[in-house]
């Protein structure tokens, strides 16, 4: 089931009204990422305010999620002696069938869910359609209620929860950010049609033997109706990696699992095997949707044959399955951050305040740090000449950031000096609070530098991924270019190498103006937020401005600073903060003493989660994590520089590839998120190289995709990350103009065909009239000839519709990251031992000796839409 955005607070209010001190605690399963962590902080604040007991369980991957299901979720089921309850999944489970994975749909159990309700709030896409349009306990099939929809709980229509829905019986509820209602109408119709469609043997030949009605039709019909009842109770999902391949139909593609991968990646729908021949009544019900009007026996000549019905049903089933296949095969992308969804919930409840708003801003800001865009995990596309917004999520991201800026103005009063309201900001980057009690949030013209308030200006610029790609600071020429920029700005190296907080105040006040003046000379137009030509920001919109918060005199940090620190604590941990270049040997020695077991690694990551969780609301702990963040980004800069200078980036057929297997920092990149950051740094630099060499980016302006592998020597595995070429301004919609043109052409063609059809119809009517007047024999000839003409017209129309559908599907999936699908295909075609456990399907682990064959096979796949 899915909860529409307009009813986002409905289930929470029910939970609030039904909880009491003796109620079982709400179980919160949280992914190990900053956005999910911020969303968890917001949700637990709401729980504490309403005295709702809860338990937080960090989840590192699908293996941990399955373990949590067995140990924590299943005991909650009423059928297992529990009292039911609510499980909240933040950033986990949106792409897989959660019922079997969590143990809520045990095989042969007539009471799935048993009072356990799972809330799924996730930004990963594509959604698992079984969670969205099913996921509810249903009543047994009856004569009047045999379809899937008729057995849905009251208040659920087409998988959508309405105001009349009553919670409490359990099920899986997906929180819609608006995309399901707007974009997934065709997928919903296809999924529900497949659930209620009787199964038939598909031998690939529509012209097979006639499946006419026989004496056994009644028995076959009973068998198929029992199957339909089972379809309604047990949701059909796409291939679930936790079930045997033998359970899949032979005529369905299957995912071959050659390792202990616990990520069930979408492949194809599974349906019950047919136990008999298709009856005429089943076919009529499937085609007409009305079981009360079976084909009339009084008019046998008008009723279609069983063979024709079988062909039509096969065509319908294939069409519906192709819709679902197309949806899952588009690739992966990201939708609205879940911290933003939690802010919407808090706003509906009237609980929004500065603390909740700040957590939301940090969560949203962290998405760009990990390249999570509307095109999947991809390096940003910058400097577009088409006027589209750049950066994370393009137009959608720009709108969300503007809403957050409006909320900052609403919840934070302007500064008043001598009875006058001061200017919102004069263009100076704030580094201190206004007064000792200042905890407000302000807008700030943040430059694209890294940790500028807590580093020197030089180090902040040197370790900026934006300047790394634009100035090419991996080379001596790039370093000289950086020095020349500073010299033009009138900043000496001695000044810029000291802490930014202690720089000359006049220099800090003039920094933005100087960056705007000289940045364009070095292709740095987006280095700081620009000002409109009239000298004013549009209606105070302050496009591109960032967010800053103060904690009195104790600290002032930007939202990006906090996101960088929280991410570093998750990926490195506190123990890495004192380790720098000279101490790399001790770092490796410490790492060598840790357990190489996968479960131990997951436990270590969970420990880091609590460090980051505490730091979000403890400013002292957050400040203590700053050296960790600096250490991690120094390592990223060193490793990226080494890979580019040593020309270790190879260009394969479909993507570029590099391997991190030696050096003092290699152990840091065993964490997928840290490796993703490195890949984004390198990917953005490669994009700028392509632009300089060819005048434009390859792959339709998206740049070449990149695969980066890092060796984990202790485990004998490579962590492999695949990033798309570019995730800039709504990359998946970049070809809207060609699509609009094709749509206009299709409409013009349809209009012309309609006019032609009417003209032909008029000619046929005239011929019919002439034949009727001439003789009865002419009328009989008309009956023989006309259906053929109509059939030909229908076939031509169907062909045109299929072509249009193919174009629409291509437009819909344009530019998306397809590494997850490509990885799965390679696993099924080769003997490579691959482990897929990350919630981000473009991250896998490959055995050390299998990497070569894995990459060779991967190079033949389509990795970007």
d(CA 236, CA 358) in angstroms, rounded, equals: 40
Helix (H) or strand (E) holding 801: helix 776-812
Mark which of 626, 661, 692 sits at the end of a domain: 626
- Give the structural domain span for 649: 640-729+817-858
CA separation for the pair 255, 265 (Å, rounded):
8
Same domain? 503 vs 447: yes
The strand pair at 717-723 and 706-712 is best described as antiparallel
Q: Both 533 and 592 in a single domain?
A: yes
Final residue in a domain of this structure, among 626, 649, 675? 626
pLDDT given for residue 769 in this prediction: 79
Amino acid 621: pLDDT: 94
**Do 571 and 707 belong together in one domain?**
no
Q: Domain for residue 290, yes or no?
A: no
Count how many domains the chain has. Answer: 4
Q: For residues 666 and 678, what is the distance between their CA atoms, to the nearest angstrom?
A: 11
Token pair, residue 168, equals 């409490």
Tell me, what's the pLDDT at 581?
44
What pLDDT score was predicted for residue 200? 72
Other C-beta atoms closer than 10 Å to the C-beta of 729 total: 27
Question: Quick one: 543 and 688 in the same domain?
Answer: no
Residues of the chain with pLDDT under 50: 206-263, 266-280, 291-293, 295-301, 385-388, 533-536, 539, 577-596, 729, 731-737, 779, 781-799, 801-804, 806-810
Q: pTM to 2 decimals? A: 0.81
Whether 373 and 730 have beta carbons less than 8 Å apart is answered as no
**Residues 226, 122 within the same domain:** yes
Q: Which of 577, 594, 626 is the last residue of a domain?
A: 626
Tell me, yes or no, whether 527 and 650 share the same domain: no
Q: CA triplet 7, 62, 67: central angle to 5 degrees? A: 95
Provide the token pair at 546.
């960032």
Task: Give the other-Cβ count within 10 Å of 633's Cβ.
Answer: 22
Count of CB atoms situated within 10 Å of the CB of 215:
6
Q: 593 with 710, same domain? A: no
pLDDT at 604: 79
Cβ contact 728:737 at 8 Å: no
Same-domain check for residues 25 and 40: yes
If you count DSSP H runs as helices and E runs as strands, how many of each does the chain have, helices first? 29, 23
Q: Do 654 and 705 contact (CB within 8 A), yes or no?
A: yes
483/407 same-domain check = yes
Strand partners, 377: 372
Exposure class string for 160-172: b at 16+ Cβ within 10 A, else e: bbeeebebebbbb
Looking at residue 717, what is its pLDDT?
Answer: 92
Q: Is residue 169 included in any domain, yes or no?
A: yes
- Looking at residue 48, what is its pLDDT? 95
Sequence-ordered list of residues with C-beta below 8 angstroms from that of 433, at least 6 positions apart, any chain: 550, 551, 552, 553, 556
Residues 759 and 674 in one domain: no
Write the DSSP symbol of residue 104: S
Residues 173, 45 share a domain: yes
User: Between β-strands 656-660 and 650-651, what pairing exists: parallel, antiparallel or unpaired?
Assistant: antiparallel
Q: Minimal CA–CA distance to 121: which of 85, 87, 97? A: 87
Are 844 and 805 contained in the same domain?
A: no
Does residue 139 belong to any structural domain of this protein? yes
The packing angle between helices 851-858 and 819-829, to 10°, is 120
The two structure tokens encoding residue 308: 């024709």
């Amino acid at each position: 089931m899915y909860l529409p955005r307009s009813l986002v607070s409905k289930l929470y209010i029910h939970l609030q009204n039904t909880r009491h001190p003796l109620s079982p605690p709400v179980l919160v399963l949280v992914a190990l990422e900053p956005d999910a962590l911020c969303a968890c902080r917001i949700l637990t604040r709401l729980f504490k305010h309403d005295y709702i007991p809860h338990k937080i369980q960090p989840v590192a991957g699908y293996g941990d999620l399955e373990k949590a299901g067995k140990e924590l979720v299943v005991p909650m089921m009423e059928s297992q002696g529990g009292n039911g309850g609510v499980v909240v999944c933040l950033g986990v489970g949106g792409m897989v069938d959660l019922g079997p994975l969590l143990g809520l749909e045990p095989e042969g159990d007539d009471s799935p869910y048993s009072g356990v309700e799972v809330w799924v709030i996730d930004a990963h896409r594509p959604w698992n359609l079984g969670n969205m349009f099913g996921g509810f306990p249903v009543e047994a099939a009856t004569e009047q209620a045999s379809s899937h929809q008729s057995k849905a709980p009251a208040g659920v229509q087409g998988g959508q929860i309405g105001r009349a829905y009553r919670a409490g019986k359990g099920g899986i509820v997906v929180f819609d950010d608006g995309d399901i209602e707007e974009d997934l109408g065709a997928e919903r119709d296809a999924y529900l049609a497949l659930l209620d469609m009787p199964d038939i043997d598909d031998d690939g030949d529509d012209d097979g033997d006639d499946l006419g009605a026989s004496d056994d039709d009644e028995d076959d019909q009973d068998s198929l109706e029992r199957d339909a009842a089972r379809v309604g109770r047990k949701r059909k999902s796409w291939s679930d990696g936790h079930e045997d391949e033998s359970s899949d139909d032979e005529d369905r593609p299957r995912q071959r699992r050659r390792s202990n991968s616990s990520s069930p990646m979408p492949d194809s729908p599974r349906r019950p095997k047919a136990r008999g021949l298709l009856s005429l009544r089943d076919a009529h019900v499937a085609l007409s949707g009305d079981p009360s009007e079976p084909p009339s026996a009084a008019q046998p000549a008008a009723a279609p044959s069983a063979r024709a019905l079988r062909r039509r049903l096969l065509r319908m089933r294939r069409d519906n399955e192709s819709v679902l296949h197309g949806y899952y095969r588009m690739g992966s992308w990201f939708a609205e951050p879940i911290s933003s969804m939690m802010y919407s919930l808090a706003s509906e409840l009237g609980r929004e305040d500065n603390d909740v708003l700040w957590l939301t801003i940090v969560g949203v800001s962290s998405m760009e740090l990990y390249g999570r865009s509307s095109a999947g995990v991809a390096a940003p596309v910058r400097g577009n000449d088409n006027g589209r917004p750049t950066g994370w999520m393009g137009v959608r991201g720009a709108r969300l950031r503007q809403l957050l800026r409006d909320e900052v103005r609403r919840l934070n009063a302007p500064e008043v000096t001598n009875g006058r309201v001061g200017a919102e900001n004069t263009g100076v980057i704030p580094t201190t609070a206004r007064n000792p009690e200042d905890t407000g949030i302000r807008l700030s013209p943040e430059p694209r530098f890294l940790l500028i308030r807590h580093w020197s200006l030089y180090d902040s610029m040197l370790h900026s991924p934006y300047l790394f790609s634009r100035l090419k600071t991996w080379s001596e020429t790039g370093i000289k270019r950086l020095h020349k920029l500073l010299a033009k700005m009138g900043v000496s190296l001695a000044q810029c190498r000291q802490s930014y907080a202690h720089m000359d105040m006049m220099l800090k006040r003039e920094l933005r103006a100087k960056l705007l003046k000289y940045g364009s000379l070095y292709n740095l137009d987006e280095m700081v937020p620009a000002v409109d030509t009239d000298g004013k920001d549009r209606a105070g919109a302050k496009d591109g401005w960032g967010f800053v918060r103060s904690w009195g005199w104790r600290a002032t940090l930007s939202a990006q600073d906090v996101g960088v620190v929280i991410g570093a604590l998750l990926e490195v941990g506190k123990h890495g903060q004192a380790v720098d270049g000279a101490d790399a040997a001790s770092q490796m020695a410490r790492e060598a003493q840790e357990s190489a077991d996968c479960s131990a690694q997951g436990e270590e990551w969970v420990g880091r989660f609590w460090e980051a969780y505490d730091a979000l609301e403890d400013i002292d702990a957050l400040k203590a994590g700053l050296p960790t963040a600096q250490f991690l980004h120094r390592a990223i800069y060193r490793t990226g520089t080494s890979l580019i200078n040593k020309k270790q980036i190879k260009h394969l057929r479909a993507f570029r590839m590099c391997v991190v297997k030696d050096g003092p920092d290699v152990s840091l990149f065993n964490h997928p998120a840290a490796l993703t950051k490195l890949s984004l740094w390198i990917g953005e630099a490669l994009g700028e190289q392509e632009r300089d060499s060819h005048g434009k980016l390859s792959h339709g302006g998206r740049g070449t995709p990149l695969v980066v592998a890092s060796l984990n020597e202790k485990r004998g595995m490579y962590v492999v990350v695949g990033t798309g070429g570019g995730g800039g301004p709504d990359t998946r919609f970049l070809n809207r103009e060609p699509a609009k043109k094709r749509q206009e052409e299709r409409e013009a063609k349809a209009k012309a065909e309609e006019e032609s059809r009417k003209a032909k119809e008029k000619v046929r009517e005239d011929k019919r009239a002439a034949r009727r007047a001439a003789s009865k024999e002419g009328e009989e000839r008309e009956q023989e000839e006309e259906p053929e003409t109509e059939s030909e017209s229908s076939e031509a129309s169907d062909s045109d519709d299929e072509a249009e559908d193919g174009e629409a599907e291509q437009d819909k999936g344009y530019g998306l990251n397809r590494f997850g699908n490509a990885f799965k295909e390679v696993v099924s075609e080769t003997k490579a031992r691959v482990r897929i456990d990350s919630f981000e399907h473009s991250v896998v682990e490959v055995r050390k000796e299998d990497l070569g064959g894995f990459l060779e096979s991967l190079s033949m796949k389509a990795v970007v839409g």
